[in-house]
């Protein structure tokens, strides 16, 4: 099978971690008889430096024309002072919108080998951490109207949070379908005691629940959810929520698993062409030092094989190799523990490659 993959190396540690993921994909291709063709795409700070635009239209079209997109990381302090519409993150928002990927699916699963790295008490970790946050990705306050105007009271900023029934229903269905494939429990997170948009969210979710009698739907206010994720994460199977709430909660959830360097994510829409990326940032302080953890990117590549290319065996092979690597006691600095062997980014890739069979 031949697949065309758009590759966004990005900024900071992005090129280093993406390189290891591509090596893993090439090993999988050679073992299973596939061909992966890569098209380099500039996005983020590097695109600002080269083109004066965080995502030129030509680059966006390369992504849209691909079978899927693999992204490292974008941004950094170098571009903090550019105008708001030119920030590296704006390229990412435009990419999501241009690809029509409206569902970000981020697992929060603790690897048994890293249980000690969780900041939670052992008694909580022992109950298990294995849930997915399904976040609406191209609506809500991030994509609403943004204005800053001079008024009698000085500068006044307004950010508009807007959702319609169709947007809520399509992400709600992703939540129900995901729960149906897991433990059949879906928690809808909103702020319906305050926000009209959340009251509509809750109404649509309960209407959808009638179509999924095999899935148990519960409601939770976002502030309570933030507390429950650290108090009793074992209660969650699938969480579905809107854009800003999902952005915050998924970062919180990633930290209880021990390291954001281990967490992949997928962003999907109506087609199989998805956007796959680790959840961490560009970490410019360690860029070029061979210190980054590439596993989040490697596991993102595995998610791409599974969810966009229907290559279940190939994805399983990558995940087994990562588990074997951890069993052998190798660690990058971000997850280093007692009696472990410290390795760099490239050596981490080497060791995982050896274990792909």
**Which residues does the annotation mark as catalytic?**
142, 191, 223, 247, 251
| b (16+ CB within 10 A) / e for 145-160 | eeeeeeeeeeeeeeee
CA distance 159 to 277: 27
CA distance 244 to 235: 22
* Contact assessment for residue 29 and residue 36, using Cβ atoms and an 8 Å cutoff: yes
DSSP H or E segment with residue 324 = helix 312-327
Phi, psi of 236 (to 5 degrees): -95, 140
The residue ranges of DSSP E strands in 24-159, in sequence order, are: 35-40, 68-73, 101-109, 130-136, 146-151, 154-159
Task: Using DSSP, state whether 211 is helix, strand or coil.
Answer: coil
DSSP H or E segment with residue 311 = none
CA distance 267 to 109: 18
CA pseudo-torsion sign 179, 183, 185, 188: negative
């Amino acid at each position: 099978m031949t697949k065309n993959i758009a590759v966004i190396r990005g900024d900071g540690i992005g090129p280093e971690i993406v390189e290891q993921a591509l090596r893993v994909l090439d090993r999988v291709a050679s073992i299973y008889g596939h061909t992966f063709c890569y098209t380099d795409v500039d996005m983020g700070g590097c695109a600002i430096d080269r083109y004066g635009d965080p995502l030129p239209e030509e680059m966006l079209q390369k992504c849209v024309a691909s079978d899927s997109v693999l992204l490292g990381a974008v941004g950094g302090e170098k571009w903090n002072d550019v105008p708001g519409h030119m920030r590296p993150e704006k390229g990412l928002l435009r990419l999501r919108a241009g690809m029509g990927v409206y569902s970000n699916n981020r697992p929060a699963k603790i690897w048994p080998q890293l249980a000690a790295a969780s900041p939670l008490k052992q008694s909580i970790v022992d109950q298990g951490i294995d849930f997915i946050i399904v976040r609406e990705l191209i609506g809500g306050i991030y994509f609403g109207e943004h204005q800053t105007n001079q008024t009698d009271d000085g500068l006044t900023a307004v950010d508009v949070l807007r959702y319609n029934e169709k947007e809520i229903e399509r992400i709600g269905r992703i939540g129900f379908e995901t729960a149906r494939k897991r433990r059949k429990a879906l928690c809808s997170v909103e702020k319906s005691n305050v926000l009209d948009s959340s009251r509509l969210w809750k109404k649509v979710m309960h209407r959808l629940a009638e179509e999924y009698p095999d899935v148990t739907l519960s409601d939770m206010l976002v502030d309570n959810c933030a507390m429950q994720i650290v108090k009793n994460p074992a209660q969650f199977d699938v969480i579905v929520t809107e854009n800003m709430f999902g952005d915050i909660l998924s970062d919180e959830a990633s930290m209880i698993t021990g390291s954001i360097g281990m967490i992949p994510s997928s962003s999907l829409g109506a087609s199989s062409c998805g956007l796959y990326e680790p959840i961490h940032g560009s970490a410019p302080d360690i860029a070029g030092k061979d210190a980054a953890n590439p596993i989040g990117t490697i596991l993102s590549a595995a998610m791409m094989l599974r969810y966009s290319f229907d290559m279940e065996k190939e994805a399983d092979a990558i995940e087994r190799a990562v588990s074997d690597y951890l069993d052998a006691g190798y660690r990058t600095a971000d997850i280093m523990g007692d009696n472990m062997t410290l390795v760099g980014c490239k050596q981490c890739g080497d060791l995982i490659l050896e274990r792909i069979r």
